[in-house]
Every structure is written in structure tokens, then in C-alpha cells.
Structure 1
Amino acid sequence: MSNVFNFSAGPAMMPKAVLEQAQRELLNWQEQQTSVMEVSHRGKLFMELITQADKDFRELYHIPDNYKILFLQGGARGQFAALPMNLANNKGKALYLTSGHWSSTAAKEARLFTDVEEVNILKDGKLETGNLDFSDVAEQYDYVHYCPNETISGVEIFDVPNVGDAVLVADMSSNILSREIDVNQFGVIYAGAQKNLGPAGITIVIVREDLIGNARKETPSIWNYEVQSKSDSMINTPPTFAWYLCSLVFKHLLATGGVTAMAKRNREKAALLYAYLDQSDFYQNNVAKNNRSLMNVTFTTGDDELNAKFVAEATAAGLQALKGHKVLGGMRASIYNAMPIEGVQALIAFMQKFEAENK
């Protein structure tokens, strides 16, 4: 099945080299004659693993020492609630910059815990020039939240909102480690692992230390950043196998050029696919060029029956999970870090064939 390419939006494909290493070590990790899933999470070997994972992730993303890295559970949805419980404790309100389904969903959840003001930063599906300067109002809020990549619509925001000295929070679930960022611009970055970091079941939170320790008294301990930080993200038994796989992904990325090299590969993959879409009068991508996602490429034929036929035939040809999200329809090719350029080339070849047969 080496000719199968998985375009799933998440859980997404993982690097083959990582899966092969995990397969080799599955029954005998660290010469223990047992699996990493079966050892104590507080044992010496696993504690060494998490210490090295923290170090490797810091190196990959150039994370300063005044930030804590938490490996939590509950996915990004869990953080939708954890954020206001930990941060909205002074001014009693937060600003949410919405650009699609997930940023709007995060705002809806936050309203259960604090007052939320919501600003749609897209106009006719396009990010307007200068539309990300909130420095004159941001300090009225405990934090400002946005989602730089919307997986459903295939919209990515490449500029970082200007919030002055206010706290900026980013949901990077679908584009973390895909390109370089300056972590110092953010108070909190969070991401579900199941797209670029590892398998579903673990969530990374990068939080500036001065923001820890201010949670509301009613905040459950599992969502309390201070409690989790002091407990090495182990207030309860963590998802050890997922943590282990993330540690292998970090090492793999470091060995293959880091985030700089990965960003170059991602730009090349996306450019190839968008170039084909732009020259085709059979398929359409409806995202403004400046906001086209490098991770999730959406497209359609404009005909629901033809779209369904495309997905069915693509699946039979070994191109999996190309059906678009139910909110939007059409097709979606998720080309996260682990997708090789050969997968994009195979998709384009199929698209050409399908177009020729159905035009």
C-alpha cells in the first residue's frame, strides 16, 4: 500500500520514519522488554523522555525559557474552556478575532466563562490590509484570541495581530511547526497534536510564566495551568504513548532540517497544488490568494454529484480522505508536515485524469 496517500484533516498522517521506529520499539522500549505504554509515567526512563521532549520542542520552535510547555489532554476544545478559566480573571472580558468555524466555536465556548466580544477579521472571505491592528483597544481585555489556520475553509492568516502589550492567544492546532514564528509575540499558544505533532489524545500548551497562577478558584485542577505546571503535566495519568510519539516527531523534525526546512517543503507543496488549481477551469478554490492555507487546500467542481464521484474514485486510487468538511462540502486536501510532495504530485495527476474524463 505504498501508493496510498492520506489527506485526512485529522487525525492526520504521521512521518513514516516515526511510525517505523515506534513499530520497532513497540514490544521492547529502551531494552525494557516491554512497551512504552506499559511503563510508569513517573519512572526514570519516561521522565527522561518527557525532559528530552521539552528540550527538543523548545529547540524546534525557539521557545524562550520564560515559557512553560504543558502536555495536556482534552484537545483544543478543552483549551477553549481552560483559557478563560486561567486568563479572564481581571477585566472580565476577552476579544475573539474570528475567521471561520473554529475561531467562532472557541468564542462560543469562552462565553460560558467570561464576557466575549467577537470581531470578524475577514471581509468577503479576505483579510483586509491593516485589519489586524488592535493595539488601541486590546488592553481593555484579559486576552485576545485568534486561530491562524482554519482547517474547514482553508484560510490561513500569516500576519500576527498587533495587540500592543495585551496577551495574544493562538489556536495553532492545524499549523503548529509548519512555519517559523516568534513565540515572544504570544502569551499562549495551544494545539491539538493530531495534525503536525503526533496522534490524537495529547494537546500542547505553550504559556508564558507570568500568566500562570491566576486561575479562578473554581477552575478544575486538570485545567489549571499552575497545577499542571507544578505536576509536570501529570495531575492525572497522561497519554504516555501519544507523548512518546510526539517526542519521536520532534527528533525527526530536528534531524530533517527543523522548522525552517519544513516551512520550505510546505510552501513548495502548496504552491504546486494551487498552481494547478489556478490554471484549471474545472476546479475552483475560493479563498483569497493572500489567505490560502499551506495546510488545508479546499476545492470544488461546483457540482455536488461530481464532487462525490471525485472523492469515490480518488479513494479507489489510493488518495484517501479528500471529502470536504460537512460545513463546506467540496473537497479538501490536508497537506500537513508529514505529507510528502509525492502525495501532492499523485493528487494532481489524478485531478488531471478526472478532469479529462468528466469535463
Structure 2
Amino acid sequence: MDRAWNFSAGPAALPEAVLRQAQADLLDWNGSGASVMELSHRGKRFMELAAATEERLRRLMGIPANYRVLFLQGGATQHFAQIPMNLAPRDGSADYIVTGVFSRKAVSEAAHHVNANVAATSEADDFRSLPPRDTWRLDPSASYVHYTPNETIRGLEFHDVPDVGDVPLVADMSSNILGAPLDVSRFGLIYAGAQKNIGPSGLVVMIVRDDLLERAPQPIAKILRYAEQAKNDSMLNTPNTWGWYLAGLTFEWIEGQGGLAVMGERNARKSATVYAAIDGSDGFYRNDVQRSARSRMNVSFVLHDTALDAVFLQESEAAGFIGLKGHKAIGGMRASLYNAVSEPAVDELVKFMRDFAARHG
């Protein structure tokens, strides 16, 4: 069966090598006579896999020794609520930078557990730009500052790490983690849903500084407390063993590709190729995001005539492309260029876009 050119925003493409290894292991993983999904998470084989997976991620990202790596469940949305429970007293405050739908959702969920202050937002611009730094109203006594480095729906990205002083910086990196090198020491907590650059949905990878685990500001169930998960090596309850295993294969694949420096260079080339096709289309395609904030992971674009949207999607699917329909909140198209999306796939997309414009322009 031919594989599609997959530009889905999430769940998204996985490296073909990872899928083939998982396929080969499905009935007999690691000589166990069973799949990884059928074995105890407390057995020797899985415990070794868990330790190796964490160590590989630490190497890839250069995670300092004073940070814990957690493999959790619930998706990033659950942690919109769980983070303030763990990091802030109920009568305390936290600052939020709102640059899209997901950071806005983070504020909404956090507001049940902390005074969630919108310290900056670009909502008035319909999230087409980043709020200028001189407009940020940060509280030096806030428990943390939360932001979303890459917003998948509009395709808006911070290309640097904001300086927020001594307040811990918390980042929802669901859509750009592992996409380029990163100085983890700039953050208090990083979390990411796995379904874009890590593995299948249902797993959340969290990197949290030790001192933040010592906070116990709100009375919450043990299962929700990050310190308890860290104490139990992310196995306070039965974890997502399948997701953990696939994450490990993905980390191994990234290492084999040359690591995050290579991923960053490749992702920059891929996004530049698609943006060049949009900008060079004489108005047939258009991207409305501030150029300095354009995402390397999610390239959104509209056609000059919305009547052509359905035709574009129909013809692109017939040509072997999937996942190009834009989010319902803004319409149009979106090409997600995560690590597993190859440069040949991007070249094929651009070739199709140019051919479509020539035929329908």
C-alpha cells in the first residue's frame, strides 16, 4: 500500500522507520513473546525501556541534571488545569501570554485554580502577530509565566525564548518540541502532547525543574501531583506503555538523523520552501501571519477565492496528500511540517500547489 503525503496537524505523521519497527515488534517485542502493550510496566523489560527512553531524551535536549522527565497521560489540555494546581496557591496569580486558541484555552482552564492574568495578547489582531514585548504586563510575584511557543491553528511561533526574569517560565511545546535545539535551563517547566513530534496521542512528556516539584500549594489528589509522579518514575498508575515505547523509537530515529541541530536546519528549509511558494504565487495563495512570527511547524494559507477550497482539497487528496484542511476556527489550508514530514514530501506539495494555481488561476 502506498503511504500518503501526510501534513496532518495532530495526530500527525510518524517516521516510517518507527512504524516499521513497531510493526516488526508487534507480536514479539524484545524476545518476550508478546507485544509491549501486553507486558507489565513494572517488569524488567519495560523498566529498562523506560530508563533508556528518558536517557535518550536527556541527550537529545541536553536536559540538566536538576530537571525531572515525566511521561504522563491526559493530553496537554488536562495539564492546562493541572499546572496551576501544582505550581500556584489558589489565591495566587500566574501570568499568561495569549497568542492563539490553545494559549487562550490554557487561561480558561487555569482560571478555575489560580488568578490567571492575561499579561499580553494578540487577540485583537486575530492572532496574526505576537504582542510586542513592551506591552507585556508581567507580575514579578506571579507563580509562573505561561506561554505557547508555537500555535498550531494560525501558525504563529516565538523564534526566541522570552526573558521573564526570575519567575519560572512554563511552555506548552506540544507542536514544536524536538523541532530544533533548545536551552532547557531557560524554563521552569516544559510540557508537550506527544501526537505531533513525539509519538501517538495519549502521552504527555513533561520536563520540570526540581525546585518546582517541591511546591505543594493546593490540596489535590496524589495522582495529579507531579512530585508524586516523579517519586514513582511516572508509574504511580499504569502508564501509556505503547506511547512510551513509540516515543523511545522516535527519539532513537531523531538521534540517527543527526539530532536536533539537523532537525532544526531541515525544518527551516521545509517551511521556507512552502512560504516561498505562497509568497511567490502572485496572490493566488496568502499567509496572513506577521513574517517574523511565521511558524516553522504549521504553515497556514488561504486561496484567493474561497470557492476553490473544496476543489483544492479534493484534488490534493486525489494526488495523495492528507491533512491539508485548515482548522475550522479560521478555514483555509494548513500544512504541518513536523519532523517526520520529509523534504521530498514538501517538494511534492509545492509542486502540486504551483500546478493547481496554474490551472485555476
> What is the TM-score with the length of structure 1 in the denominator?
0.96
Residue 64 (1) aligns with residue 64 (2): yes
**Structure 2 Cα separation of the partners of residues 8 and 18 of structure 1:** 17
Q: Which residue of 2 aligns with 1:148?
A: 149
Letter in 2 for 1:294: R
Q: Which residue of 1 aligns with 2:355?
A: 353
**Structure 2 Cα separation of the partners of residues 102 and 237 of structure 1:** 28
Q: Which residue of 2 aligns with 1:18?
A: 18
Task: Say which is worse superposed, 278-287 or 296-305, in terms of deviation.
Answer: 296-305
Q: Which residue of 1 aligns with 2:35?
A: 35
Deviation at 1:138, TM superposition (A): 3.7
Q: Which runs of 4+ in 1 moved over 4 A?
A: 131-134
Q: 1:180 to 1:91 in 2, by over 3 A?
A: farther
Letter in 1 for 2:271: A
Deviation at 1:128, TM superposition (A): 5.4
Q: 1:215 to 1:312 in 2, by over 3 A?
A: farther
**Structure 1 Cα separation of the partners of residues 136 and 104 of structure 2:** 19
Q: Which residue of 1 aligns with 2:310?
A: 308
Q: 1:52 to 1:332 in 2, by over 3 A?
A: same
SS at structure 2 position matched to 1:355: helix
Deviation at 1:119, TM superposition (A): 3.0
Q: 1:238 to 1:128 in 2, by over 3 A?
A: closer
SS at structure 1 position matched to 2:30: helix
Can you give the 5+ residue segments of structure 2 that lack an aligned partner in the other structure? none
Contact 2:87 2:143 in 1 (8 A): yes
Residue 127 (1) aligns with residue 109 (2): no
Letter in 1 for 2:61: Y
**Structure 1 Cα separation of the partners of residues 307 and 86 of structure 2:** 47
Contact 1:138 1:164 in 2 (8 A): no
Letter in 1 for 2:325: K
Letter in 2 for 1:308: A
Can you give the 5+ residue segments of structure 1 that lack an aligned partner in the other structure? none
Task: Say which is worse superposed, 84-93 or 137-146, in terms of deviation.
Answer: 84-93
Cα-Cα RMSD: 1.5
Deviation at 1:312, TM superposition (A): 1.5
Contact 1:174 1:195 in 2 (8 A): yes
SS at structure 2 position matched to 1:248: helix
Contact 1:151 1:296 in 2 (8 A): yes
Deviation at 1:146, TM superposition (A): 0.2
Deviation at 1:293, TM superposition (A): 0.3
Q: Which residue of 2 aligns with 1:104?
A: 104
Letter in 1 for 2:35: S
Contact 1:91 1:142 in 2 (8 A): no
Deviation at 1:322, TM superposition (A): 0.5
Q: Which residue of 2 aligns with 1:51?
A: 51
**Structure 2 Cα separation of the partners of residues 119 and 354 of structure 1:** 43
Deviation at 1:91, TM superposition (A): 6.6
Residue 88 (1) aligns with residue 91 (2): no
Q: Which residue of 1 aligns with 2:288?
A: 286
Contact 1:267 1:294 in 2 (8 A): yes
1:91-143 Cα offsets, whole Å, 9 max, x none, are 70000000010001000100010111103343743235544876xx4422000
**Structure 2 Cα separation of the partners of residues 177 and 93 of structure 1:** 30
**Structure 1 Cα separation of the partners of residues 312 and 30 of structure 2:** 46
Aligned length: 357
**Structure 2 Cα separation of the partners of residues 20 and 309 of structure 1:** 34
Contact 1:266 1:337 in 2 (8 A): yes
Residue 268 (1) aligns with residue 254 (2): no
SS at structure 1 position matched to 2:270: helix
Identity value in percent: 49
